[in-house]
Amino acid sequence: MRHRLPLLLCLIAAFLLLPAAAPGAISDTAVKAAFLPRFARYVTWPASAHSSGPIVICVIGDDPFGRMLNEAAASQQVDGRSFVVKRLTSASAASDCAIAFVDGGRTEEILAALGRQPILTVTDARSSGQRGVIHFTVVGGRVRFFIDNAQAQARGLTISSRLLALAIGVNQK
């Protein structure tokens, strides 16, 4: 596993460096879909939460990914665990979500409803100024992200220093 870590970090860095608008390049939505299951490698959840069975990625609100997220999740495993993608209209059914991508006009309401559950919340600057633990943005045509480590810790999540190092900004307060 250790010998694959540098390769994985290089792949993540390559995704960050791909121009979103270049001809033939992967779209920024596809890059974000690829990131969601990969984040699970760098997050530790409390022992009492999401510790067995498949890792559940939920899309709550608008779904910009379609099949792209299902395909990205199907090709990944973390510690022998596969992924399941669920699409939800509200946060009320999100208790089994390990990762929740929250998008659309109700982002603030959904994030508030999720409270401090041990869920890695991910948001997108293109649709909302509200931020989850991880917040995607596009800078210079490249997909980048901010991390709110203080919010992660309040949820009982531990984010690896390797992922923190890839963020363009980290809130520690």
DSSP per-residue string spanning 5-64: HHHHHHHHHHHHHS-TTSTTPPPHHHHHHHHHHHHGGGEE--TTSS-SSPEEEEEEE--S
pTM for this predicted structure: 0.84
* Model pLDDT for residues 84-101, shown as the tens digit of each residue: 999 999 999 999 999 999
Q: What is the pLDDT of residue 13?
A: 45
CB contact at 8 A, 85 and 73: yes
Q: What is the DSSP letter of 127?
A: T
- Answer yes or no: is pLDDT of 3 > 80: no
* Model pLDDT for residues 131-164, shown as the tens digit of each residue: 999 999 999 999 999 999 999 999 999 999 999 9
Domains within the chain, CATH numbers bracketed: 2-171 (3.40.50.2300)
What number of other Cβ atoms are within 10 A of residue 160's Cβ?
A: 13
Angle between helices 5-17 and 28-39 (to 10 degrees): 150
Can you tell me whether residue 125 is helix, strand or coil? coil
Sequence-distant (≥ 6) Cβ neighbours of residue 144 within 8 angstroms: 16, 136, 137, 138, 167, 168
* Model pLDDT for residues 5-37, shown as the tens digit of each residue: 444 444 444 444 444 444 445 799 999 999 999
Q: What is the pLDDT of residue 25?
A: 52
- The residue type found at 127 is S
